[in-house]
Chains A and B, each alone.
Chain A
Amino acid sequence: MRQKRSPEDYLWTVWLLSARTVTPQHYTLTDQLIFAFEEATLRLESAAEALLLKENYSPECEKDLAALGTSIEKFKDSIGSTIFMEGTKSKELMADLYSSTPAAASAKVELGNLTVGQKFKNEPGTTAVAELSGNLIFIDPQKIGKNLQQNMGLFFHEKLHNLTGLTDDVIQDKLGLTVDSNNSKNISDKLVKDCINK
Chain B
Amino acid sequence: MKSKSVLSTMAFLFLFWGSVFATDFQAKKSKVVLYVVSTYGHVVDDAEVKLIRQNETFKAAWNSGVYEVDVPNGEFQLSVVSRGFALLKRHVEISHPEERIIASLRVGTIDFTSRDMLSGQISGLSWDSAPIWIRLVPVFGYQVKEDLVRKPGSFQFSGVSGGEYVLLVIKGESVIDLRRVRVTDSNRHLSINLPE
A and B co-occur in one complex = yes
B196 at the interface (CB under 8 A from A): no
CB proximity of A161 to chain B, nearest CB, Å:
5
- A133–B127 CA distance with the chains assembled, in angstroms: 43
Which of these binds chain A: B19-27, B56-64, B83-91?
B83-91
- B40 A128 Cβ-Cβ under 8 A: no
B30 at the interface (CB under 8 A from A): no
- B112 A129 Cβ-Cβ under 8 A: yes
Cross-chain contact of B127 among A25, A102, A125, A126 (Cβ < 8 A): A25
- A128 B84 Cβ-Cβ under 8 A: no
- A167 B119 Cβ-Cβ under 8 A: no
Interface set, chain A 160-190, CB cutoff 8 A to B: 161, 164-170, 172-174, 179, 181-185, 188
CB proximity of A149 to chain B, nearest CB, Å:
12
**In the complex, what residue of chain A is closest to B113 when comparing beta carbons?**
A125
- B151 A32 Cβ-Cβ under 8 A: yes
- B113 A101 Cβ-Cβ under 8 A: no
**In the complex, what residue of chain B is closest to A154 when comparing beta carbons?**
B112
Interface centre among A107, A123, A145 (most CB of B within 10 A): A107
- A105 B42 Cβ-Cβ under 8 A: yes
Cross-chain contact of A166 among B83, B113, B117 (Cβ < 8 A): B83
**In the complex, what residue of chain B is closest to A98 when comparing beta carbons?**
B84
Q: Return chain A residues, CB-CB under 8 Å to B189.
A: 124
Given contacts A106-B38, A109-B39, A170-B81, contact A181 B86 (CB under 8 A): yes
- B114 A167 Cβ-Cβ under 8 A: no
A113 at the interface (CB under 8 A from B): no
Given contacts A25-B127, A107-B107, A126-B113, contact A133 B38 (CB under 8 A): no
Cross-chain contact of A123 among B38, B87, B110, B111 (Cβ < 8 A): B111
Cross-chain contact of A143 among B42, B79, B107, B119 (Cβ < 8 A): B119
- A110 B156 Cβ-Cβ under 8 A: no
- B44 A110 Cβ-Cβ under 8 A: no
Binary interface profile of B, 62-97, with partner A (CB < 8 Å = 1, else 0)? Answer: 000000000000000001011111110100000000
- B150 A142 Cβ-Cβ under 8 A: yes
Cross-chain contact of A125 among B45, B107, B108, B188 (Cβ < 8 A): B188
B184 at the interface (CB under 8 A from A): no
Q: Return chain A residues, CB-CB under 8 Å to B28.
A: none
- B107 A98 Cβ-Cβ under 8 A: yes
Q: Return chain A residues, CB-CB under 8 Å to B158.
A: 145, 150, 185
- A102–B83 CA distance with the chains assembled, in angstroms: 6
Interface centre among B45, B82, B105 (most CB of A within 10 A): B82
- A85–B81 CA distance with the chains assembled, in angstroms: 28
**In the complex, what residue of chain A is closest to B154 when comparing beta carbons?**
A142
CB proximity of A81 to chain B, nearest CB, Å:
18
- B85 A102 Cβ-Cβ under 8 A: yes
Some 6 contacts from A to B, beta carbons below 8 A apart, are A106-B38, A127-B113, A129-B111, A143-B156, A154-B112, A184-B111
Residues of B in contact with A (beta carbons under 8 Å apart): 38-40, 42, 44-47, 79, 81-87, 89, 105-117, 119, 127-128, 147, 150-152, 154, 156, 158, 188-189
Residues of A in contact with B (beta carbons under 8 Å apart): 24-25, 29, 32, 35-36, 97-98, 101-111, 119, 123-133, 142-143, 145, 150, 154, 157-158, 161, 164-170, 172-174, 179, 181-185, 188
